[in-house]
Amino acid sequence: MTDPRYLKLAKLLVTYSTRVQKGDRVLLDLTDVPDEMAVELIRAVRAAGGTSLIDVRHSRVSREVLRGTNEKHAALVRDLDLARMKKMEVYIAIRGSDNTSENSDVPSDQMALYSRVLRPVLDWRVNKTRWCVLRWPTPSMAQGAGMSTEAFENLYFDVCTMDYRKMARAMLPLQSRMEKANRVHLISPGTDLTFSIKNIGAKMCEGLLNIPDGEVFSCPVKDSVNGVIQFNTPTIYAGAKFENVRLEFKAGKVVKATANNPKRLNEILDTDAGARYVGEFALGFNPYILNPMCDILFDEKIAGSLHFTPGQAYEICDNGNRSAVHWDMVLIQRKEWGGGEIWFDGELIRKDGLFLPKDLKPLNPQNLK
């Protein structure tokens, strides 16, 4: 018997997150996901009047593809995938992996080449389709969260099927404030960073593009970032785990980057000219996600967190930066994580992870649950 939580999640993704309508063509891109979940998604798309096309991938096979890729191969994949993507109105991706470090021994230049060549596929999907991307709960994710597999699965489904409509209503004032803000000042242990978000805009994320969700993002004016930021959560990128990432900025550019693996860190930041500039700034506030689990779709939504992103900017909040890299790095500012402050134009917006202005208090954890 299929887990009833699969049905609930499939229905949320199809009817709420991507709003599948009659006649929509829907690409289901599934990596290491149980067949039962794939079946529920196909049925949900069919019930909404859509037509589904399904890709089933396996992370160990994908690793081998990356290890042997080259310009000719990547270009062929790009051309085929882009032609298909252009025929889709909706894209839903669920990505699981028994080993979150599966790609750790793929050479960084191979990863960079593949990301760079296939960038047009990602750009089309992000800007031209209604899309939603999420993880699938696995034992390796549970291990990263320091939880048993059963406890993590229960957390996963609680988080992924929460009342996102209520969260969306609470986000509106923060989106409005970020749209109007100019100067931003971040203060935390090891962090003193200033930048502008003037005329960039802001976008709230209420379960339409990612599940789980719970953030409002903008983007720094490209050359406005100055100072230093010290991240206090681990991050996995290109299959490698980084801790204690510290970035120093001058006129928007990362001029010094250190971590437990500085060589690999700087290799990624040297992928292209845009990788040392920032493409996103966001505040996270999902009340169910409190601690990092080395999975960015969860970690970037941690209650009382912010993330700062070397690399590509989204066109919806665009500073013009272009890169094959988009690396969300997370700083938690709740008191038990060292605390911190966020200021907009001289007004203290959030202190120690809690919003202070009256119109933003509905976003605090006790009010969202």
Q: Which positions ≥6 away from 291 have C-beta within 8 Å?
A: 145, 146, 302
Contacts of 350 (CB under 8 A, 6+ apart): 283, 304, 333, 341, 342, 356, 360
Instruction: Show the tokens assigned to 104.
Output: 């750790």
Longest Cα–Cα distance of the chain, Å, equals 57
Whole-angstrom Cα distance, residue 70 to residue 90? 29
Task: Enumerate the domain spans of the chain.
Answer: 4-160, 164-368
Residue 281: what are its φ and ψ, rounded to 5°? -135, 130
Per the structure block, which two tokens stand in for 336?
């038990």
Q: What is the DSSP string of 343-365?
A: EETTEEEEETTEE-SGGGGGGSH
Measured CA distances, 154 to 17, 149, 297, 315, 346 (Å): 21, 9, 17, 35, 41
In the CATH scheme, what is the homologous superfamily, with its name and number, of domain 4-160?
Thermophilic metalloprotease (M29) (3.40.1830.10)
CB distance 310 to 329 below 8 Å: yes
Q: Residue-wise pLDDT tens for the chain (369 aa)?
A: 779 999 999 999 999 999 999 999 999 999 999 999 999 999 999 999 999 999 999 999 999 999 999 999 999 999 999 999 999 999 999 999 888 788 889 998 898 899 999 999 999 999 999 999 999 999 988 887 889 999 999 999 989 988 888 999 999 999 999 999 999 999 999 999 999 999 999 999 999 988 999 999 999 999 999 999 999 999 989 878 999 999 999 999 999 999 999 999 999 999 999 999 999 999 999 999 999 988 888 999 999 999 999 999 998 999 999 999 999 999 999 999 999 999 999 999 999 999 999 999 999 999 988
DSSP helix/strand/coil, 298 = helix
pLDDT value for 143: 87
- How far is the C-alpha of 206 from the C-alpha of 52, rounded, in Å? 24
List for the chain the helix, strand, coil content (%; round to 5): 35, 25, 35
Establish how many alpha carbons lie within 13 A of residue 325's alpha carbon, considering only the half-sphere containing its beta carbon: 27
CA distances, 201 to each of 178, 309, 327 (Å): 7, 16, 20
Q: What is the pTM of this model?
A: 0.79
- Contact between 277 and 259 (Cβ < 8 Å): no
In sequence order, what are the residues at sequence separation of 6 or more whose Cβ sits closer than 8 angstroms to the Cβ of residue 109? none
d(CA 273, CA 325): 10
| Residue 173 C-alpha from the chain's centroid | 22
User: 148 near 155, Cβ under 8 Å?
Assistant: no
- DSSP code for 336: G
pLDDT number for residue 25: 98
Round to whole Å and give the CA distance between 283 and 250. 22
Dump the DSSP string for 204-247.
EESSSSEES--EEEE---TT--EEEEE--S-EEETTEEE-S-EE
The per-residue pLDDT for 13 is 96
Beta carbons within 10 angstroms of residue 312's beta carbon? 25
Pairwise CA distance, residues 363 & 263, whole Å: 39
Exposed e or buried b per residue across 47-75, where buried means at least 16 C-beta atoms within 10 angstroms of its C-beta: ebebebeeeebebeebbeebeebeeeebe
Q: Cα separation of 245 and 233, whole Å?
A: 8
pLDDT score at 99: 86
The DSSP code for 337 is: G
